[in-house]
Amino acid sequence: MIAAEWLTQDLIGGFFFRYLHVLAGITWIGLLYYFNFVQVPGLAAYGDEGKARNITVTQIATRALWWFRWASIATLATGLLITIIVPNYMQDFMNHEGSNAANAQNGAISVGMTLGILMAANVWMVIWKNQKVVIANAVNVLNGGEANPDAATAGRRALLVSRQNMVFSVSMLFYMVGTSHFYTVFSATSSDVNTFMLISVVIIALLQLNALGKFGGIKAGNKMLWPYESHKNAIISSVLLLVVFFALSVVLMG
């Protein structure tokens, strides 16, 4: 009887999968910050020590990237399972069915989910795709082979999108936490929420296209890529994006 009482949809989706979602998310975003705050600046500091850098890539980065990419899948999968298992997840936030507070919460979590899904797609479709080229090149060079001239470009593409994911992550985490602990006091009509979501998605799309080099290419010197040229720039950009999203949500849904 106790097991039957425990194994409810609300408990499984609302607690157990939420716990796994947070655990996987900590692993994923923690490694994202490791790459951007520690590994990339550290490898740059190696200077001409090419062999040492290649050993680090093959022995450290490959392991970190394994956990990184699969943690992104685990985070995405558990998040989607929560929305499926918890009854009326999007329609009945915090038991405010049909209320304007629920509208604001649905808008906040929807933008947060959009960011999370895009970030996971970036991991597999851009970052890992290009890092495989970098890793293969490091292994080949360590074995006495010729360097792949495309490796530097691949590394650059991976770096730009990784930094964009870092910029996105601050706002994504804000919406994930803020949905249940901040937006409950907001009052917004469905029209307000739709406007908020539309503007947010446009901003997200423009930033994503920029990180992919659609506005002037990926080479250094393109001023549009300023947010990604250092981890310090990315931190500043992440705060600015959060401020923009926060102001947008207050004006349209507050």
Quick one: pLDDT at residue 97? 47
The whole-angstrom separation of Cα 220 and Cα 224 is: 10
Per-residue CA distances from 52 to 57, 92, 155 (Å): 9, 54, 17
The whole-angstrom separation of Cα 179 and Cα 173 is: 10
Pull the structure tokens for residue 133: 């080229």
Question: Please, are residues 13 and 77 in contact by the beta-carbon 8 Å criterion?
Answer: no
Pull the structure tokens for residue 28: 């994923």
Quick one: pLDDT at residue 96? 47
The whole-angstrom separation of Cα 12 and Cα 10 is: 6
Phi, psi of 97 (to 5 degrees): -55, 125
Pull the structure tokens for residue 229: 């040229």
Quick one: pLDDT at residue 93? 55
Domain range for 29: 2-253
Quick one: pLDDT at residue 21? 94
The whole-angstrom separation of Cα 104 and Cα 200 is: 14
3-state secondary structure 72-114: HHHHHHHHHHHHHHCCCCCCCHHHCCCCHHHHHHHHHHHHHHH
**What value does the CA radius of gyration of the chain take, rounded to a whole number of Å?**
21
Print pLDDT tens along the chain (254 aa): 445 555 665 666 567 888 999 999 999 999 999 999 999 999 888 887 789 889 999 999 999 999 999 999 999 999 998 888 877 776 655 444 445 667 888 888 899 999 999 999 999 999 999 999 999 999 999 999 999 999 999 999 999 999 999 999 999 999 988 877 788 778 888 888 899 999 999 999 999 999 999 999 999 999 999 999 999 999 999 999 999 999 999 999 87
> How many CB atoms sit inside 10 A of residue 3's CB?
6
Quick one: pLDDT at residue 94? 45
Q: State the total domains in the chain.
A: 1
